[in-house]
Amino acid sequence: MASVKKELIIEVPVENIWAIIRDFAAGPVRMAPGYAVDSKLVGPDTRVVDFANGSNLRERLVTIDDDDRRFVYSIIGGSVTPEHNNATMQVFPHGDGHSRFVWIHDVLPAEVAEAFSAGMDEGLRSFKQSQEGVAASPS
């Protein structure tokens, strides 16, 4: 098994970031617009996320923990179907009005970790850009 861990500081309050992460239905598109192009529920705890590169993922919700601002899900199908996947997203206050976002994927086989890492990097670039751009926009 391999673990891929990414951290990002976003110059947006933790409450704003958590509202996006905990949104199981639309969170991926809100998080990384343009990278994730569609997200739809296909059951009470399952969504399909479509990406700009033509790939898609079928994800199952494991838990949403509002107290710890922690979201857990698992990839169960789609263009990439690892033997095992467990992912967490968690957001913490960081400094004055900023957030520290932590995203971890535990995957089997270990050989898919590199592809997960690259996809996570792209998603995080989009996340930071879209959220800090929104925060900087005049009202």
CB 94 within 8 A of CB 100: yes
Q: What is the CATH number of the domain that holds 124?
A: 3.30.530.20
For 38-71, the pLDDT digits (tens) are: 999 999 999 999 999 999 999 999 999 999 999 9
The number of folded domains in the chain is: 1
Decide: pTM greater than 0.75. Answer: yes
First vs last C-alpha separation in the chain: 46
Is 139 within the bounds of a domain? no
Strands 70-78 and 84-94: antiparallel
Is 72 within the bounds of a domain? yes
Is 78 within the bounds of a domain? yes
Is 33 within the bounds of a domain? yes
Is 20 within the bounds of a domain? yes
pLDDT exceeds 60 at position 6:
yes
Domain span at residue 94 reads: 2-134
Determine the Cα–Cα distance for residues 70 and 134; give it in Å rounded to an integer: 23
Q: For position 134, what pLDDT does the model report?
A: 67
Is 71 within the bounds of a domain? yes
Is 10 within the bounds of a domain? yes
Interval 21-32 mean pLDDT? 96
Is 109 within the bounds of a domain? yes
Per-residue 3-state assignment (H helix, E strand, C coil) for 80-125 = CCCCEEEEEEEEEEECCCEEEEEEEEEEECHHHHHHHHHHHHHHHH
